[in-house]
């Protein structure tokens, strides 16, 4: 559905937090709009989705893993990534695994539907809508670089987003990261 769509502006902006050549997991990648964009910028991308047909065109662009993470075991046990990117997907039982999958000092870039969206369209079930402040609570103890929770007109939706850095080994220090308007910044440029 999103294969030829442009990447999310949230993902492109905060990809500057990923080290050059970093390992990136695109969770529930679908047809791969972010897989393609991230790979084109030199990241080592792993796309994970349960839809074999959707991810088939991504072979050769990225490592592709087909797995049902809601009904089966986590297919990436023991692996960590410099970044985990998630858009338009929410499966709450996965939170502990996701936090463990982000390498120390790595970044979680998450953007999905939020409470309120049920009044304008799908998804409408509470299971698929973030509650107010939920991403902040799930990233407690991490460095929150950016967070948004609200309504946007194009496309019309209620959305919640976070860019958060996992704690570094041995302490809370992180490199400085520029936070100015830097949509489309090159990887590792700091913004």
What confidence category does residue 189 fall into, taking pLDDT thresholds of 50, 70 and 90?
Answer: very low
For 65-124, the pLDDT digits (tens) are: 999 999 999 999 999 999 999 998 878 889 999 999 999 999 999 998 676 656 687 766
Give, for 24, the enclosing helix (H) or strand (E): strand 23-27
Q: If we measure between CA atoms, which residue out of 42, 148, 53, 135 comes closest to residue 89?
A: 135
Residue 161 has pLDDT above 70, yes or no: yes
Residue 164 near residue 143 (C-beta atoms within 8 A)? yes
Output the CA–CA distances (angstroms, integers) from residue 45 to 34, 41, 64, 65, 66, in the order listed: 9, 10, 9, 11, 14
Domains and CATH numbers, the chain: 9-165 (3.40.50.150)
Q: If we measure between CA atoms, which residue out of 125, 86, 102, 133 comes closest to residue 23?
A: 102
Residue 64 has pLDDT above 70, yes or no: yes
What is the value of pTM for the model shown?
0.85
Q: If we measure between CA atoms, which residue out of 10, 11, 13, 16 comes closest to residue 177?
A: 16
What confidence category does residue 187 fall into, taking pLDDT thresholds of 50, 70 and 90?
Answer: very low
Q: What are phi and psi of 112, to 5 degrees?
A: -155, 180
For 17-43, the pLDDT digits (tens) are: 999 999 999 999 999 999 999 999 999
């Amino acid at each position: 559905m999103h294969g030829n769509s442009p990447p999310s502006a949230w993902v492109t902006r905060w990809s500057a937090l990923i080290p050059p050549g970093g390992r990136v997991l695109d969770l529930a990648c679908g047809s791969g709009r972010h897989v393609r964009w991230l790979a084109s910028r030199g990241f080592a991308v792993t796309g994970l989705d349960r839809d074999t047909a959707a991810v088939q065109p991504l072979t050769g662009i990225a490592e592709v893993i087909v797995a049902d993470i809601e009904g089966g075991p986590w297919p990436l046990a023991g692996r960590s990534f410099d970044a985990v990117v998630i858009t338009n997907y929410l499966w709450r039982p996965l939170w502990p695994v996701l936090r463990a999958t982000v390498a120390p000092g790595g970044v979680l870039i998450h953007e999905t539907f939020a409470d309120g969206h049920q009044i304008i369209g799908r998804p409408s079930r509470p299971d698929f809508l973030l509650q107010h402040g939920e991403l902040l609570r799930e990233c407690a103890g991490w460095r929150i670089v950016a967070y948004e929770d609200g309504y946007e007109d194009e496309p019309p939706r209620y959305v919640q987003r976070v860019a958060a850095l996992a704690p570094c080994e041995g302490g809370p220090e992180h490199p400085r990261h520029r936070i100015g308007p830097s949509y489309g910044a090159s990887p590792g440029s700091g913004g």
